[in-house]
């Protein structure tokens, strides 16, 4: 795709629908929002019922990792900026939330992240009610979340972003630059524009592993 497209306020492109393979019109709308900078809203609707909406961040920074040890109720107030290319990990709980087709950008705090995790765990628990081991694990993780919020358990919240657009804002947060090899192992979300390759890469994955599954 021509890089000049990304300087326009709005335009359309045509691709093949991933479900029915017919021609699909994608609408692109440029905007600017605080912290994230220049962004592009992307949407598409196919006659076969496939629908897609995403926000692509046009700015790119150094690949980054933030780590915060959450050990008190005060840590729950730490600001979290998560872009659509950000991966969230809580290693003590085996939680990995990687960007995919339903990823979105948001600004919240650590407690907000934990509430999002709670929603995933509750949904996963309902889906595995007939599988004793997995259901028991989901309930155990929910109890762990309650203990974290009550300040009775310590966890580490990690955000990794190959495009450098995510962050944890706290004096306690540790910041590390990711190597090229580490960054390349991370998911980036639905649509990535690689300036070096001058092409679009499509990623239809949505990988949430709250129960330690494969």
Could you tell me how many helices (H) and strands (E) the chain has, helices first? Answer: 3, 15
Strand-pair category, 199-202 with 191-194: antiparallel
Tokens of 199: 């092409």
Could you read off the pLDDT of 28-55 as tens digits, one per residue?
888 876 656 677 788 889 999 888 876 6
| pLDDT tens digit sequence for 91-129 | 998 888 887 655 667 788 999 999 988 988 888 888 888
Using 50, 70 and 90 to split pLDDT, how confident is the model at 56?
low
Residue range 64-208 forms a domain whose CATH class is mainly beta
Q: Specify the CATH class of 3-57 in words.
A: mainly beta
HSE-CB for 171 with a 13 A CA cutoff: 1
pLDDT at 196 > cutoff 90: no
Q: Name 207's bridge partners.
A: 98
Kindly list the domain boundaries of the chain, sorted by start residue. Answer: 3-57, 64-208
pLDDT at res. 168: 92
CA distances from residue 207 to 58, 96, 188 in whole angstroms, order as listed: 23, 8, 11
Strand partners, 177: 64
């Amino acid at each position: 795709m021509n890089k000049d497209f990304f300087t326009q306020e709005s335009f359309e492109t045509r691709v093949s629908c991933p479900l029915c393979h017919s021609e699909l019109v994608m609408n692109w709308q440029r905007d600017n929002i605080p912290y994230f900078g220049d962004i592009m809203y992307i949407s598409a609707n196919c006659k076969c019922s496939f629908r897609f909406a995403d926000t692509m961040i046009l700015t790119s920074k150094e690949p980054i990792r933030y780590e915060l040890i959450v050990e008190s109720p005060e840590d729950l107030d730490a600001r979290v900026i998560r872009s659509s290319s950000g991966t969230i990990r809580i290693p003590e709980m085996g939680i990995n939330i990687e960007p995919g087709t339903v990823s979105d950008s948001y600004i919240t705090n650590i407690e907000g992240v934990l509430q999002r995790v709670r929603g995933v765990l509750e949904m996963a628990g309902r889906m595995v009610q007939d599988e004793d081991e997995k259901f028991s694990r989901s309930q155990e993780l929910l109890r762990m979340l309650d203990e974290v919020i009550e300040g009775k358990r310590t966890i580490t919240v990690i955000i990794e972003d190959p495009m450098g657009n995510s962050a944890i804002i706290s004096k306690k947060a540790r910041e590390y630059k990711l190597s090229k090899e580490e960054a390349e192992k991370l998911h980036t979300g639905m649509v990535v524009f690689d300036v070096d390759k001058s092409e679009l890469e499509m990623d239809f994955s949505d990988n949430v592993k709250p129960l330690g599954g494969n």
